[in-house]
Structure 1
């Protein structure tokens, strides 16, 4: 999946409507609403050749077969369209009946807090969805009254996982006699080796989510689980000039100054970053497992592989995005049926065989060795409590703050200190808003 993790356009309206929305939360047992509906309007942002796109298309096919007479109105949206406009759309008569939505405090948590999402707790229990989610995956499905993930009611159902890894061009590594690095120091030596040959090592999308994930990987190289819990779950106050965030910001800026990251990447979108790597213009790309299926399908001109960010025990990652049912959905029971189908072995196995990370597949049904390796890697990270979520999750609108801040590090308009001050302000303002 080529995500464009971009939410401030609706800010003023949200402030005006938040009090009214607070009284509109669903009951959590509204399974009969829309039981006579003959149309299911569904949105998601997965490309048709991505693992999730292939699996969801199959789910739509199975849904139609099991619901004769029901029309499925599928609309593919971009991640940015949904990210930036979800609050306004879900509070209108234009709301779809079910959609894929980003997980975390700043997104699904915010919508749940505002009463825009249906409480799925009863359905999750009745249909057994909750039993298919490990504790780490269930973290992003549940939100408390403040919209903080990890506890409370179930407002979304994930049915795949994801994590950030390093994609590398094996042919280019072999050409220059380079080995897969196992430590950060070794990784830097690989970056130096490519730069010495006049090759910019990293394909980076600074205009969207990829660049901030590199910054986060660098911060995580100095972090432990308690630090992640402080940053993501507000367990303790975060010092934005601590060792972890300072290292992430200063090292990222250093990588730009050394030419590992091109200055023009500040304006590059995720899609263009991925295409450039597919065209062998760069040897390395650091991004999510959602690219895996598309790369497997489209890269024909060179051999490639993946490895985890060298030396890290914690990695950006989580459950996949959530299927959520808007409170204004006119076909809730149909939406629940669709979620159920995405959990079926046929869809989950297809997801795994297409390069995705299913949560309920039969391991014996995954036939491709590389796909098996991907799933095993994710399962290992998850079982070792190595999923550190994403840097933009803690506060509403934080994605755009991080995009702008990291762009400043790339183009040199911000120092690491100024960048950290910039990202600290909205984070701490959000804590004050929720009384933390």
Structure 2
């Protein structure tokens, strides 16, 4: 999930051009097992090779090749932004891959399922036992109804890992200034004040992509409950965008900028650069997801580090991981189902856990690293307490870019908290109107 933005026009053209060269061979109809004569599986995902998911999925490809002699795997790593911006165009063409990683939620997988671009995996989920391996909370993002709203209906994707947002911290810098891990938001604020008093900007932030909006959402969640999340994410009741939760999130985020907890130049910083800056010890803390964990474990060599849950929150941005989806135009559906099945096997799940990921079907006794166990235990704690609150950009198509631009305005001071909330309310409510809600 080390996401980089592609140019909207140039990126679309280059991606479409490359697709024409990599379309898979083989034949078969849409029936589940009719593509057994296919000799190529074209697979896309956007995980870096050193990430836990990248390591585990490379093993899955290796196992797939061993169990499918004569089948070629054409793997292509795409950026998150390439797939996010161009998925509808690609999957509605004959150049669609056979299987790909895709973002979960109403605005992404839900929208594509509603448009008929994804294969219904319900029969496979039952036949292969995926429904037994995934808890009810993890199944939320795998199922979508006829309106593309998650939580019920047919299976259109299979997650094989979990994820959640946390605080990564430089233990050496905490020790240098005699600071303790905070357990409340008030204590967290005092820690950031202590760093600022020493001339240190506390947080490494990427405002040009997803990380900054997740901080805003964490702050809103500090005042929220499950009913509020269900209203915002599942449209149970109408959301007032000037309610106490969102108002607190926007105002406190703006306050953090004015107090110097978040640097003003972070509005132009991408997620990758945010992560690298933290790895280099330039900032003591970073608020982001578990998808960084494996990379930090392998790359951070110059200081001791750890992680903790956002202090005081019972609800956290998080969910199942991204989904394996099978495009309706896949030419090798049965091979795609076989690959998904391999990613759910103990060998791959245990490797995922030992590489710093959050597996959904691992043998806990096989996870050997204490930090990795802590990572997985924290996720299991959140999941078991119904604390997964999904992500702020899920409720409406195109909402990711709306939130990126809105939070950038809070960082650079071009928008007041009130104007920001008005800005993000409009497309949210327009989507509700389109759904007839």
Output the TM-score relative to the length of structure 2: 0.95
Quote the residue 2:91 is aligned against. Answer: 90
Displacement of 1:9 after TM fit? Answer: 7.3
The alpha carbon displacement at 1:35 in A equals: 1.7
Partner SS, residue 10 of structure 1:
helix
Deviation at 1:34, TM superposition (A): 1.9
Q: What is the CA RMSD across the aligned residues, in angstroms?
A: 4.1
The offset of 1:374, in angstroms, is: 0.6
| Displacement after TM superposition at 1:26 (Å) | 19
Name the SS for the 2:9 alignment partner.
Answer: coil
Confirm whether residue 244 of structure 1 aligns to residue 242 of structure 2: no
Of 206-215 and 8-17, more deviation after overlay is shown by: 8-17
Say if 2:12 and 2:82, in contact at 8 Å, map to a contact too: no
Change (3 A) 1:239 1:150: same
| In structure 2, distance between residues paired with 1:399 and 1:118 | 24
Asked if 2 retains the 8 angstrom alpha-carbon contact of 1:22 and 1:115, the reply is no
Change over 3 Å in CA distance of 1:238–1:411 after alignment to 2: same
CA contact (8 A) 2:24 2:331 kept: no
Distance 1:12 1:70 in 2: 29
**Structure 1 418/9 Cα, relative in aligned 2: closer, same or farther at 3 Å?**
farther
| Maintained 8 Å contact 2:23/2:97 | no
Decide whether the 8 Å contact of 1:317 with 1:389 is kept in 2: yes
Aligned 8 A contact 1:14 1:87 in 2: no
Distance 2:148 2:380 in 1: 27
Contact conserved, 2:24 with 2:41, CA < 8 A, in 1?
A: no
Q: CA deviation at 1:8?
A: 8.4
Distance 1:28 1:72, change over 3 A: closer
Gap change, CA 1:362 and 1:378, over 3 Å in 2: same
Give, in whole Å, the separation in 1 of the partners of 2:108 and 2:225.
Answer: 25
Q: What is the TM-score with the length of structure 1 in the denominator?
A: 0.95
C-alpha displacement at 1:33, in angstroms? 3.7
Q: Distance in 1 between matches of 2:169 and 2:15?
A: 44
Deviation at 1:94? Answer: 1.1
Alpha-carbon spacing, 1:74–1:28, altered in 2? closer, same or farther (3 Å)? closer
Q: Deviations over 1:28-50 (max 9, x none)?
A: 99212422100000000000000
Question: SS at 1:9's partner residue?
Answer: helix
Q: Does the aligned pair in 2 maintain the 1:142–1:156 contact within 8 Å?
A: yes
Equivalents in 2 of 1:13, 1:151: separation in Å?
36
From the superposition, tell whether residues 423 and 12 of structure 1 become closer, same or farther in structure 2 (CA, over 3 Å).
farther
Q: Which residue of 2 aligns with 1:161?
A: 162
Q: Unpaired segments of 5 or more residues in structure 1?
A: none
Report the Cα offset of residue 13 of structure 1.
14
Q: Residue 338 of structure 2 aligns to a residue in which SS?
A: helix
Q: CA offsets per residue over residues 333-368 of structure 1, 9 Å max, x none?
A: 000000000000000000000000000000111111
Q: For residues 67 and 81 of structure 1, do their structure 2 counterparts lie closer, same or farther at Cα, with a shift above 3 Å needed?
A: same
What is the total number of aligned residue pairs between the two structures? 436
Q: Structure 2 vs 1, CA of residues 13 and 77 (structure 1 numbering), >3 Å: closer, same or farther? A: closer
CA distance in 1, matches of 2:320, 2:11: 27
Q: Give the superposition deviation at 1:2.
A: 2.1
Change in Cα spacing, 1:16 to 1:431, as seen in structure 2 (3 Å) is farther
1:289-343 per-position Cα deviation (integer Å, ceiling 9, x unaligned): 0000000000000000000000000000000000000000000000000000000
Q: Deviations 1:214-241 (Å, cap 9, x if unpaired)?
A: 0000000000000000000000000000
In the alignment, which residue of structure 2 is the partner of 1:271?
Answer: 272
Determine the C-alpha separation between the residues in 2 that align with 1:427 and 1:26.
42
